[in-house]
Structure 1
Amino acid sequence: MSYRPNHDPIIARHPFLRHMVGIMTQPPLVFDRARLAANVARREGQPDFVTDLVVADLADRLAPVTRAFSKALVMGPDPRLLPDTAQSASGPIRFERISALLEIEGFATVDPERLSLPASDYDLIVSLLDLQTVNDVPGFLESLRRHIAPDGLLLIAAIGGRTLSELRDAFLAADVEILGGVSPRVAPMIDVRDAGGLLQRAGFALPVTDLETHIVRYRTPLALFDELRALGVTNPLAGRDTRLLTPRHLMRAAEIYAERFSDPDGKVRASLEILWLSGWVPHESQQKPLRPGSAQTSLRDALGDKSKT
């Protein structure tokens, strides 16, 4: 049951109480977005295979869609890496590119936590690698829906929940050995089981989610650590431990990683999950789910009565 402080007559009369309730109902601050921006800005000119992978997958997903999109927007941390065109089965798509993190000359920049896009009647919005760095995910999705016209499409790619699970395990073990406790080092990510519910909660119809799983291999754990720094995805958590990571700590994490996650050829593996979400803004022309109890054929008839065999 949701609590609505403005409907409580006592709280409504007291500004201080209204302020305190507002603080209590704010989403938790998980990510330090200033640090995120600084991390991404430092990677300029570096290859970014994750974004390249997602952009290629986006093209494959749009190609069979039998819909013409006349007003489309794509947003991501660095708009220079985003496509400006794509193709659906019904014709070309020209994207307006928006930065969701960096301030770059020639591109509009928006704050996903207080989203205000240039228009509110897009028939396609694509968000690439934004969702997993937003503190208020339900609020972000609801804001996106308000900027899409009825029967318009939202398509999102985000980092999935099992990404870098090996790295998380190695550092947890090293933290316990060296610090006597654990420190948050890998950002929480969205699980595919929760994604469809988030879209429905935000008011989207016909939600679909799926997961692309990739195993990336590195010569050593230190090679993985170096690539993460180059990609600008080092610890972005607001509650991170601000103490410098000592060489001893880093090397112990690398040793544990190699012990637990090496392949027979000596290389180590790292999991990468790309979570895709899609949903449509409701419209009367869309198919509707059947009313409970209205089915004309039973599941037993459809599958066959196994009790008779």
Structure 2
Amino acid sequence: MTSAPQLFDSVQIGRNLSRRKGTDNFVRDLVLEDLADRLATYKRDFSRAVLIGPDAETLPETLVTANGPVAAQRVEAFADADFPSLPPGEHDLVVSLLHLQTVNDVPGHLARLRRQLRPDGLLMAAFIGGESLTELREAFLAADLAVSGGASARVAPMAQVRDAGALLQRAGFALPVADVETHRLRYGNPFALMAELKALGAANPLADRPRRFATRTLLAAAAQAYAERDGDPDGRVRATLEIIWIAGWVPHESQQKPLKPGSATTRMADILGRGEAE
């Protein structure tokens, strides 16, 4: 078997997070608010829940479903280990927040999360989607071509929502669901966006990133390209933030199963109110 390509530098991600001046994170806050709304629709009692994410100490210790509160064990996503140290098969709810977008082997990671769950256990995950920061990616591409005649990897590749359900199925989950929340953000200028990314610890995490700092000439060219392509009449610039949500269940005999081909007992003609042709 071949190992997954190492797209992301986990050591550099840890450095980026450690250099932040605080733990304020509007992206995390958006995701936590959305998580609360989603969990509130589940009429299910969960007895052992795990919440995995960066800055685990800032995550809630209690989750709430339609049936009431659920105590959650908080686990740091970007600890020294590649995968959280959890006892397998003992949880009925695992929630992963803002982590999968920097995992090198997503199918393998999801399969390991599945092994932490009991039969009929639920996995929910939120991660940054593929349309995020397309404006910044295109601006740097144009700047690199203009300044040096080539392109460098400056914005991380991210998964598309169309692939998310297939990833769950590949990892062995049943009843997979995937959807996306898209947020349109605005900044005073492209440099304000770059500063916020750095403040969030979201600087370039790619293993194949340029080893030299971007020059002032390159940054100025990128800012100009950004403003020309995605600037508004008031001088501010637009940025896309896409959050993909996935959910899947560990297979269990109690779950709904699709009917076998040819087993339907109702004809489409009867549903449409049409009789036999005369």
TM-score band by shorter chain is: over 0.9
| Contact kept in structure 2, 1:46 and 1:230, CA below 8 Å | no
Aligned to 2:206: 237
Whose relative contact order is higher, 1 or 2, with alpha carbons under 8 Å and at least 6 apart?
2
Residue 78 of structure 1 pairs with residue 55 of structure 2 = yes
**Residues 248-292 of structure 1: per-residue CA shift (max 9 Å, x gap):** 100110010001101222210100000000000011010101112
Partner Cα distance (1:292, 1:151) in 2: 25
Number of residue pairs aligned between Structure 1 and Structure 2: 275
Aligned to 1:95: 72
Shift in CA distance, 256/290, structure 1 to aligned 2, threshold 3 Å: same
Q: Normalising by structure 1, what TM-score?
A: 0.85
5+ residue gaps, structure 1: 1-21, 104-109
**Structure 1 residue 160: Cα displacement:** 0.6
Aligned to 2:3: 26
| Contact kept in structure 1, 2:23 and 2:55, CA below 8 Å | no
**Residues 82-124 of structure 1: per-residue CA shift (max 9 Å, x gap):** 1111211112111100011146xxxxxx423xx5414531000
Shift in CA distance, 300/236, structure 1 to aligned 2, threshold 3 Å: farther
**Structure 1 residue 37: Cα displacement:** 0.7
Q: How does 1:89-238 map to 2 (within 5 A)?
A: 89-102=66-79, 110-112=81-83, 116-238=85-207
What secondary structure is seen at the aligned counterpart in 1 of 2:50? strand
Residue 265 of structure 1 pairs with residue 234 of structure 2 = yes
Q: Normalising by structure 2, what TM-score?
A: 0.94
| Contact kept in structure 1, 2:88 and 2:115, CA below 8 Å | no
Amino acid at match of 1:210: D
| Contact kept in structure 1, 2:52 and 2:77, CA below 8 Å | yes
Partner Cα distance (2:268, 2:226) in 1: 48
Aligned to 2:26: 49
Amino acid at match of 2:124: L
Aligned to 2:218: 249
Shift in CA distance, 302/33, structure 1 to aligned 2, threshold 3 Å: farther
Shift in CA distance, 179/96, structure 1 to aligned 2, threshold 3 Å: same
Aligned to 2:40: 63
Amino acid at match of 1:189: M
Partner Cα distance (2:59, 2:273) in 1: 50
Where do 4+ consecutive residues of structure 1 move more than 4 Å?
A: 298-305
**Structure 1 residue 46: Cα displacement:** 4.2
Residue 36 of structure 1 pairs with residue 16 of structure 2 = no
Partner Cα distance (1:230, 1:257) in 2: 20
| Contact kept in structure 2, 1:213 and 1:271, CA below 8 Å | yes
What secondary structure is seen at the aligned counterpart in 2 of 1:51? helix
What secondary structure is seen at the aligned counterpart in 2 of 1:28? coil
**Structure 1 residue 140: Cα displacement:** 0.2
**Structure 1 residue 47: Cα displacement:** 1.9
Amino acid at match of 2:51: V
| Contact kept in structure 2, 1:41 and 1:102, CA below 8 Å | no
**Structure 1 residue 295: Cα displacement:** 2.4
Q: CA RMSD in A?
A: 1.7
| Contact kept in structure 2, 1:78 and 1:102, CA below 8 Å | no
5+ residue gaps, structure 2: none
